[in-house]
Amino acid sequence: MYAILDIETTGGKYNEEGITEIAIYRFDGHETVDQFASLVNPERKIQPFVVNLTGINNEMLRNAPKFYEVAKRIVEITQDCTLVAHNAQFDNRILTTEFERLGFSFDRDTLCTVELSKKLIPDLPSYSLGKLVRSLGIPLSDRHRAQGDAKATLQLFKMLLNKDNEKEIIKKTVRKDPKRQLEPKLLDMIEAAPTKTGVYYMHREDGEIIYIGKSKNIRKRLVQHFTSDNRKSKRIQLEVAAVSYEETGNDLIAQLKESQEIKQNKPTYNRALRQTLFKYQLRSQLDADGYRTLHIEKADKRKAAITTFTTYQQAKNVVHRITEEFGLCQQKTGIHKTSGNCFKYTIKECAGACIGEESPESYNERVSEFIEKHSYHNKDMLIIDKGRSVEERSVILIENGAYKGYGYYNLNYQINQPDVLRSIITPMKNDRDAQHIIQSYLRKHKVHKIVTLDPKHQT
């Protein structure tokens, strides 16, 4: 659990500042579960430069509650939370000082979004909150007012959680969460999980991830883990101390995250999925007569493939389908092994490439059409699909045929501005597993839309 906050102060000498406004969002890693915002009477004058910066003056605070009147609410909303702020050291110092004046010890772990941003989004020109969120396309209203800045920090933190592929933030939180150290019942873990699509992480008591999985219904999948009596499931049931999760909005991003994060984190109980996801591939080559033939072969990373398949039967089914869809010759696609005409020619559904009646140029045009549709080799495009909420969309970036990563956006200008698009994308590894996942998904599912990028749009 996190408490994302922002504080405005009077300014003045070190440790003599007073709070003029505070805003806190209690965030469970997925949604806001509570919030609090209030002006505060600091019982001292505000520095003139602060008045100019925030617009908050002494007259506005005359009837505002004093700190001791809101202190209980602050303690309650931050209970069992890690404090998250932009320059967290400052906000935590101010809060701790105010509570010390009341004779109360206020002790919370902290996370700083300045430090996290420098690590997860390196090489930006500025990490001040205003310039940072503007570069990421995050809306910011009421700059230098607690509620506006806290809301922007919350959106920034959500993005940082997504970019944290090594899960350092989550692992640190699990380690320091006193409730999770008490080994909650498996039923409690199930009850706390969502019924949405995403990736889930099973942690040991020390926070280390022992298993990563993905599901279209995370809660349902946990029920399967925790009720199964196979050997691996029983061992997981004994070791798991906490389950965290990330909603992805759609199954494509869930598959991509699961694949990469298993390779990165190497969880104890994910040995099988550390291996390549596919065993067969489809390739094309010219035969002696100049026709582009298609053939299925065992996966070989040394050879360029049009697309890949998990099983041989899956490959055969796809080749049958594309032979029908594009009017290809069964002999040239390997379905009908013959030195004469194929069966489709007999029933007048093949133009005769098998016996030289159709020219290689004419036939190869349709093969090229198939390859163009089913391969994103050398393409620059965005795959747009459902996001994690109704108003949000997900985006996968492909540049020059390489998978660059994924992100989420609410406003179209975030994907139409190259610099902003690059900033919101969580970088991911472009390996053959990622290519296999994307191609397989696009073969089987309809996404919201695919946008072909103009070369000038290069990020």
Condensed to tens digits (0 to 9), the pLDDT of residues 154-209 reads 999 999 988 888 888 877 776 665 444 434 578 888 888 898 999 999 999 889 99
pLDDT at 175 (0 to 100): 63
pLDDT at 338 (0 to 100): 84
pLDDT at 140 (0 to 100): 83
Mean pLDDT for 72-80 is: 92
Partners of 36 in beta bridges:
24
> Three-state SS string across the chain, please?
CEEEEEEEECCCCCCCCCEEEEEEEEECCCCEEEEEEEECECCCCCCHHHHHHHCCCCCCCCCCCEHHHHHHHHHHHHCCCEEEECCHHHHHHHHHHHHHHCCCCCCCCEEEHHHHHHHHCCCCCCCCHHHHHHHCCCCCCCCCCHHHHHHHHHHHHHHHHHHCCCCHHHHHHHHHCCCHHHCCCHHHHHHHCCCCCEEEEEECCCCCEEEEEEECCHHHHHHHHHHCCCHHHHHHHHHCCEEEEEECCCHHHHHHHHHHHHHHHCCCCCCHHHCCCCCEEEEEEECCCCCEEEEEEECCCCCCCCEEECCHHHHHHHHHHHHHHCCCCCCCCCCCCCCCCCHHHHCCCCCCHHHCCCCHHHHHHHHHHHHHHHCCCCCCEEEEEECCCCCCEEEEEEECCEEEEEEEECCCHHHHCHHHHHHHCEECCCCHHHHHHHHHHHHHCCCCEEEECCHHHCC
pLDDT at 273 (0 to 100): 54
Give the model confidence (pLDDT) of 125-145 as tens digits.
Answer: 899 998 998 888 888 887 888
Partners of 148 in beta bridges:
none
The proportion of the chain whose per-residue pLDDT surpasses 90, expressed as a percent, equals 40
Q: Would the pLDDT of 327 be above 80? A: yes
Q: What is the CA radius of gyration of the chain?
A: 28
| Lookup: tokens for 396 | 């996968």
Distance separating alpha carbons of residues 356 and 369, to the nearest angstrom: 20
Give the model confidence (pLDDT) of 361-379 as tens digits.
Answer: 999 999 988 887 777 777 8
Mean pLDDT for 255-264 is: 91
Name the band, by pLDDT with cuts 50, 70 and 90, for residue 459.
very low
Name the band, by pLDDT with cuts 50, 70 and 90, for residue 101.
confident
Q: Would the pLDDT of 346 be above 70? A: yes
Mean pLDDT for 245-266 is: 92
Q: Rounded to a whole number, what is the distance in angstroms from the first to the last CA of the chain? A: 35
pLDDT at 182 (0 to 100): 36
Residue 193: closest CA among 172, 167, 219, 217: 219
Q: Would the pLDDT of 340 be above 70? A: yes
Distance separating alpha carbons of residues 78 and 332, to the nearest angstrom: 67
Give the neighbor-by-neighbor strand order of the sheet with 426-427: 426-427, 402-409, 393-399, 381-386, 449-452
Q: Would the pLDDT of 149 be above 80? A: yes
Mean pLDDT for 20-26 is: 95
The proportion of the chain whose per-residue pLDDT surpasses 70, expressed as a percent, equals 95
pLDDT at 181 (0 to 100): 41
Residue 240: closest CA among 266, 209, 213: 209
Give the model confidence (pLDDT) of 27-60 as tens digits.
Answer: 988 889 999 999 999 988 888 888 888 888 888 8
Name the band, by pLDDT with cuts 50, 70 and 90, for residue 258.
very high
Residue whose token pair is 């696009």: 442
pTM for this predicted structure? 0.65
- Say if CB 292 and CB 285 are below 8 A apart: yes
pLDDT at 180 (0 to 100): 45
Distance separating alpha carbons of residues 410 and 379, to the nearest angstrom: 25
Lowest mean pLDDT across 65-79, 126-140, 157-171, 343-357: 157-171
- Rounded to the nearest integer, the mean pLDDT of the chain is 87
